[in-house]
């Protein structure tokens, strides 16, 4: 008998005694036997038809009663899902959003080759399909723009808007604080009903009722070089910036919030950064994971 037939017969539990002997004489017979024995390890889980049938009866009983209601509701649900889907699709299909989480900065290029760098804890969004006709974007937080020449480029924030033709500038819109610095060219700032043109090398900032116009010597924002620099900045804004740069929470005592801070901290090393902003104000700090507690030195 051919080897293949012998094996097939063995597989069909059909071998006579002599055939079994012949099978056992095959070179690979021990392999076959072992495969056969070990197949047991792969047995399907226990199955009991009786208990399973009881479960089925439950399901069938349940199904008969509830089915019409279920189909009715699933119909409504389907309509709602489709309606919401369409609504969502039509409304937000083309809105693009870029986000830099706390403790990161992000750089990217807009469709017109303008460049944007987002500082920690900031985001911008714009409608992609409208971009070609109107360069209009929304900013939350702080970002630096290098605008390619072209149509009017507008950055809208909660507190004001900035528009330009082609230049480099930075906008910082934080809770209770608004700042624009122009590094090259000319930008138009509109804020609280006022409009003003800001020339290269100038900063416009607003906090509370204070409006400051000042000159900056920097060619690019300090945070592009991993440093956060402040000039006459309310102290709580400095703390908030530190929280965003390191994704931490700062609590405890604070210096008088009317204090204006001038100085800088590193965005790379938390210890140095904390020293830089606490020592001048006679504060000490303790780091506890993502939490930092400040204390006034006696």
Contact residues for another protein, defined by CB under 8 A: 4, 7-8, 11-13, 28, 31-32, 34-36, 38-45, 47, 49-50, 52-53, 55-56, 59-60, 63
Give the burial class of 186: count Cβ atoms within 10 A of its Cβ; 0-12 exposed, 13-18 middle, 19 or more buried.
middle
* Angle in degrees, CA 216, 220, 224, rounded to 5: 130
Q: Least separation, in Å, of the C-beta of 113 and another protein?
A: 42
Cβ proximity to another protein, 61 vs 85, nearer residue: 61
Cβ proximity to another protein, 11 vs 287, nearer residue: 11
Cβ proximity to another protein, 13 vs 258, nearer residue: 13
- Alpha carbon of 193 to those of 90, 164, 189: distances in Å? 33, 18, 10
Cβ proximity to another protein, 45 vs 289, nearer residue: 45
DSSP annotation string for 70-135: HHHHHHHHHHHHHHHHHHHHHHHTTEEEEEE-TT--EEEE-TTS-EEEEPTTEEEEEEGGGTTT-E
Cβ proximity to another protein, 66 vs 94, nearer residue: 66
User: What is the C-alpha separation between 60 and 21, in angstroms, rounded?
Assistant: 53
Q: Least separation, in Å, of the C-beta of 55 and another protein?
A: 7
Q: Which residues pair with 109 in a beta bridge?
A: 115
Q: Taking Cα atoms as reference points, which of 26, 25, 30, 32 lies closest to residue 11? A: 32
Q: Least separation, in Å, of the C-beta of 3 and another protein?
A: 11
User: What is the C-alpha separation between 169 and 166, in angstroms, rounded?
Assistant: 10
Q: Least separation, in Å, of the C-beta of 12 and another protein?
A: 5
Q: Least separation, in Å, of the C-beta of 17 and another protein?
A: 19
Q: Least separation, in Å, of the C-beta of 43 and another protein?
A: 5
User: What is the C-alpha separation between 130 and 114, in angstroms, rounded?
Assistant: 15
Cβ proximity to another protein, 35 vs 287, nearer residue: 35
Cβ proximity to another protein, 39 vs 215, nearer residue: 39
Backbone angles phi, psi at 91, to 5 degrees: -85, -35
User: What is the C-alpha separation between 42 and 14, in angstroms, rounded?
Assistant: 23
Q: Least separation, in Å, of the C-beta of 13 and another protein?
A: 7
């Amino acid at each position: 008998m051919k080897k293949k037939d012998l094996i097939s017969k063995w597989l069909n539990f059909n071998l006579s005694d002599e055939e079994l002997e012949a099978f056992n004489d095959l070179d690979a017979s021990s392999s076959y036997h072992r495969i056969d024995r070990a197949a047991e390890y792969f047995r399907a889980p226990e199955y009991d038809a009786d208990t399973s049938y009881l479960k089925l009866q439950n399901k069938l009983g349940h199904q008969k009663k509830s089915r019409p209601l279920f189909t009715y509701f699933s119909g409504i649900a389907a309509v709602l899902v489709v309606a919401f889907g369409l609504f969502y699709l039509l409304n937000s299909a083309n809105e693009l959003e870029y986000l830099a989480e706390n403790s990161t900065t992000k750089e990217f290029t807009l469709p017109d080759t303008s460049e944007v760098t987002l500082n920690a804890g900031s985001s911008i969004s714009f409608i992609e399909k409208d971009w070609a006709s109107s360069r209009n974007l929304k900013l939350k937080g702080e970002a630096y723009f290098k605008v390619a020449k072209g149509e009017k480029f507008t950055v809208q924030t909660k507190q004001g808007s900035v528009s330009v033709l082609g230049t480099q500038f930075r906008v910082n819109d934080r809770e209770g604080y608004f700042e624009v610095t122009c590094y090259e060219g000319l930008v138009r700032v509109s804020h609280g009903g006022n409009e003003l043109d800001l020339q290269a090398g100038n900063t416009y900032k607003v906090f509370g009722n204070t409006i400051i116009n000042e000159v900056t010597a920097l060619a690019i924002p300090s945070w592009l070089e991993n440093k956060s620099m402040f000039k006459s900045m309310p102290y709580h804004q400095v703390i908030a910036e530190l929280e965003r740069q390191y994704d931490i929470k700062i609590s405890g005592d604070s210096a008088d919030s009317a204090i204006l801070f001038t100085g800088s901290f590193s965005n790379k090393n938390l210890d140095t950064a904390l020293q830089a902003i606490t020592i001048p104000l006679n504060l000490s700090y303790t780091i506890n994971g993502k939490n930092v507690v400040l204390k006034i030195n006696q």
